[in-house]
Amino acid sequence: MATVARPKTKGGAFLLETTAPEDIFTPEDFTAEHRAIAKTTEEFFNKEVLPHREEIWHAQHEVPAKILRKSAELGLTAVVIPEKFGGMEMDLTSMMVVAEAVAREGSYSAWHGAHTGIGTLPLLLFGNEEQKQRYLPKLAKCEMIAAYCLSEPQAGSDALAARTRADLSADGTHYVLNGQKMWITNGGYADLYTVFAKVGGEKFTAFLVERAWPGVKTGAEEKKMGIKGSSTTAVFFDNVKVPVENVLGEIGRGHIIAFNILNIGRLKLGPFANGGCRDDLATSIKYAKERKAFGKSISEFGMIQHKIAEMAIRTFASESMTYRVVGDIEAQIAAGESMLKAVEEFATECSFIKVFASETLDYVVDEGVQIHGGYGFHQDYAVEHAYRDSRINRIFEG
């Protein structure tokens, strides 16, 4: 599913070079396949997620977990996984349009994003053939839910300060894992964790750890400001025996995995935030047209029109930024680079997207609440949930 061929460019080139308009990728350049997967996802969302929004809002976690598993029947949890592992083997743009389509519900998008993104991609991009054969088909079908265990109570963005430790057994068959991870999305329901620990207390390394193994325990669900329908827990490892075959990548090279996966996570925050912006903008426009004050619709007031215009302008800018970078990465891939190398080339731009898109969403939901007035402060209204759900995006992915 290749997009229109575009010249390969380097990260940061926009600062030094003039780019021809036809070389900038926008949503108008989506292929028929991109539009089809977007439509499929939107239809699934409308049919399976929206009717259960109240349950999700009230932290009935088994509901979004069930919906996530059902989405696997359409391949929505396996967009970029190769066909030989049960996936759809689609491109990066497809992954982005699916993310944007599920972003209208913050909690559900957290389930989806953690499983398909930071949960599955470490294995997909860094796993060996045996590991992929063992786990990817189950992740593709959502027979296993994935989670990413990097943060600790004393180590968030400073990931290399992690205290979780792994020690090789005397017979060399397994590592003994001890420690605690914190703020783990999908933590309470995941079956497979990508866990970062220091071998011998020094060499930062990634491991594939199954929930079913003795010594793996999860904490209580965290009481969060927003995305209350997502599962967020601590995960504890007490003398967990991890087979040497479950080392992901190389010993002492876990930082390569961690930081590259965060680059992709920051990129994906673009469509997640943009999808939220579009939904809140549509909700606010609908409300402004229906709400009457002083004998007319409030949408006729200049101040409301200005707010809606500014919300739309910033959403457009965020969307444009996101897909320009996606197109640049796709051009690298088309020229023969791996997804990993292509994303790494645009790591700075991925960070730009994380910052701008998350701040744009915060602006849009804040104005959405203001347009709704007192009703925007009421939990029966979607904008109230969107306001609280938005804030985490400026914290997610460092």
Tens of pLDDT, residue by residue over 187-233, are 999 999 999 999 999 999 999 999 999 999 999 999 999 999 999 99
Measure the CA–CA gap between 339 and 258, rounded to whole angstroms: 15
Measure the CA–CA gap between 104 and 274, rounded to whole angstroms: 9
Q: In this structure, are strands 192-199 and 165-168 parallel, antiparallel, or unpaired?
A: parallel
Q: Which of 100, 319, 384, 397 is catalytic?
A: 397
| Amino acid in the structure at residue 397 | E
Q: Please give the pLDDT value at position 10.
A: 87
Q: Please give the pLDDT value at position 204.
A: 98
Unique residue bearing structure tokens 């439509």: 39
Task: Give the 3-state DSSP-derived string for 307-345, with helices as H, strands as E and coil as C.
Answer: HHHHHHHHHHHHHHHHHHHHHHHHHHHHCCCCHHHHHHH
Are the CB atoms for 26 and 320 separated by under 8 Å?
yes
Q: Please give the pLDDT value at position 4.
A: 56
Q: Give every residue of the chain whose pLDDT is below 70, as ranges.
A: 1-5
For residue 177, list its beta bridge partners: 166, 240
DSSP-derived secondary structure for 110-162: HHHHIIIIIITHHHHHH--HHHHHHHHHHHHTTSS-EEEE--BTTBSS-GGG-
Q: Please give the pLDDT value at position 6.
A: 75
| 397 is annotated as an active-site residue | yes
Tens digit of pLDDT for each residue in 109-154? 999 999 999 999 999 999 999 999 999 999 999 999 999 999 999 8
Q: Give the SS3 label for residue 194.
A: strand
Task: Give the 3-state DSSP-derived string for 246-308, with helices as H, strands as E and coil as C.
Answer: HEECCCCCHHHHHHHHHHHHHHHHHHHHHHHHHHHHHHHHHHHHHCEECCEEHHHCHHHHHHH
Q: Is the dihedral of CA 199, 147, 271, 392 positive or negative?
A: negative
- For residue 181, what is the enclosing H or E element? strand 174-185
Rg of the chain over Cα atoms, rounded to whole angstroms, equals 21
| Amino acid in the structure at residue 29 | D
In the chain, the domains with their CATH numbers are 13-140 (1.10.540.10), 146-252 (2.40.110.10), 255-394 (1.20.140.10)
pTM: 0.94
